[in-house]
Structure 1
């Protein structure tokens, strides 16, 4: 199995194999999470946590196939973000390696190798070995998808309600510019990074941030993150209720 090959190169703790397509929620292909961590590490991720994941975001921005460390794709203050603390911190992950494979139909398969706080540190030799292995894995993944992909395609779902919740957070309270800034802050961008992404000054971001906190009635990033989670949960429940009612 590829899992064993990966482990011989890098003694990882967890593996999560998912496929990503533009405008669709990720599909789980395989994982090795133990039962006691599966809800947090797998079900929560596939359910809604993926929306702030740097690996997911990169697939939506046409990231080139290859091998990446989490830090290469994450915003500058990702490890200080509430998302990192609630998801990665809760799982005890200190690093993650993503092996990105391009499949037909604009689908990207990602092998996510998780390293815990007690894991051996990632070495340049291991990372180079994985990068050399990636071109060999690609045709194998393509062949797998050719014969097995049809069994997963029916599970493709659009982002609703998670993407809708992300886009609608702050509706009626925040301007479009402020909503754009909130998305970047929730994803782990610093003030300077958010300013760079939006081509505005640091000072402008700080002013907007002050207004955002006032209008959302929060006083910290942690409170804003909890409010966002509540919003996602509410939109999900409303969407579920509507789907049960039917047309």
Structure 2
């Protein structure tokens, strides 16, 4: 556990480099001294907009195509994006605190073709934790710190140390990437989005085959909710949720959630490619 003097030194270390080129690397280096991690990324997330990658080493772990697909399409299934849409309070979070109950066994989370932090060789992550700064309403700068499955998740002491310096991390992130935030807002200033991107994607997925209720269930399943969680969210019996799930499979001509996931990914990728 770090003490007050170490926390002050940490703050001074970062504040002296804010808005300088060395800040992102200094931030990563300082955090690694508190708790080691292999993968990191800083990203702007906005409801109804594509994420913007600011900094990181994702390209050491995933192909450019997978990263591009995530940033333009499959981010819709990401728990961090969903948390931003839900206007979560700024702070430090374990991804497990933000994600639905079945998220970590979902096809999205474990797919090397669609999730930029999953490797065919190494598998999925041991853990991801995120600093979520909100420099302006409706926009987040998110710093993700990730450990591969070759190491242990972040310990309670490590997480406590990282949380202790969270105010400094969030403030300096907001200040350093202020220009990037301004450009993100300016580029989207005149774009009307009365319906969320995620809702729009699910509303147009197999809408000639599925009822609105079934589309809602598909949305919950693909975002990582179990059948029990679907039932709880919709205030229906678990048996009823299972019947809906079977009916959805029959209407789509599939036999598994993995097939449904691939169909949905193809849908949002094709939708992206058809946009002007």
TM-score (norm 2): 0.79
Structure 1 counterpart of 2:171: 139
Aligned to 1:101, what secondary structure does the other structure show?
A: strand
Compute the displacement of 1:153 (Å): 3.7
Compute the displacement of 1:225 (Å): 1.0
1:102 has 2:138 as partner:
no
Q: Normalized per residue, which structure has more helix?
A: 1
Write the deviation string for residues 78-100 of structure 1: whole angstroms up to 9, x where unpaired.
12211111125436422101111
Structure 2 counterpart of 1:185: 221
Structure 1 counterpart of 2:258: 222
Structure 2 counterpart of 1:69: 94
Structure 1 counterpart of 2:32: 7
Match of 2:157 among 113, 125, 144: 125
Distance change in 2, residues 1:161/1:152 (3 Å): closer
Aligned to 1:113, what secondary structure does the other structure show?
A: strand
Structure 1 counterpart of 2:247: 211
Q: Which consecutive unaligned segments of at least 5 residues does structure 2 have?
A: 1-25
Q: Distance in 1 between matches of 2:94 and 2:66?
A: 18
TM-score (norm 1): 0.88
Residues 73 and 272 in structure 2, CA contact (< 8 A), matched pair in contact too? no
Compute the displacement of 1:149 (Å): 3.0
Instruction: Compare 126-135 and 39-48 and name the one that shifted more.
Output: 39-48
Q: Distance in 1 between matches of 2:260 and 2:146?
A: 27
Match of 2:274 among 197, 216, 238: 238
Aligned to 1:75, what secondary structure does the other structure show?
A: coil
Q: Distance in 1 between matches of 2:197 and 2:171?
A: 34
